[in-house]
Amino acid sequence: MQASYAQSHPQFNHTTIYVVDMNKSADFYEKVMQLEKIAEPFHDNRHIWLKIGEHCQLHIVQGAESSEIRKLETRFQRATGSS
C-alpha cells in the first residue's frame, strides 16, 4: 500500500505567535494582511485564530511580556550589529 502525500511529506498546518497585545496584533493581521478570523476552541479571551491558507492557520496568543520582547531585540541587535 502506497502512503499518501500527506503521510509521506511533512505538512505545515499552523504557527503560533505569543504577543503582548493580542487585539492590536489581530487588528494588524486582519486589516493590513487581510487574514480572516476563524473560530477557536478555547473561548478564553487569550487566543485568536486566523486563516492563512486552505489548511493553514495563524494562532495569536496573549501572554508575551514586554521584557521578553526587549531581550529578543537586544539579541537581534547584537547578532546583526544594528542599533
- Residue 66 forms part of a structural domain: yes
**Does the pTM of the predicted model rise above 0.75?**
no
Model pLDDT for residues 41-58, shown as the tens digit of each residue: 999 999 999 999 999 999
CB atoms within 10 A of CB 40: 16
69: left (phi over 0), alpha (psi -120 to 50) or beta: alpha
- Residue 72 forms part of a structural domain: yes
How much is the average pLDDT of 2-30? Answer: 86
Q: Is 80 exposed, middle or buried (0-12, 13-18, 19+ CB in 10 A)?
A: exposed
- Domain CATH number, residue 61: 3.10.180.10
| Residue 9 pLDDT level (bands cut at 50, 70, 90) | confident
- Residue 4 forms part of a structural domain: no
Whether the pLDDT of residue 11 is over 70: the answer is yes
* Structural domain boundaries enclosing 76: 12-80
- Residue 64 forms part of a structural domain: yes
Number of domains in the chain: 1
Instruction: Tell me which residue of 58, 56, 66 sits closest to 19, measured CA to CA.
Output: 66
The C-alpha atoms of residue 17 and residue 12 are separated, in whole angstroms, by 15
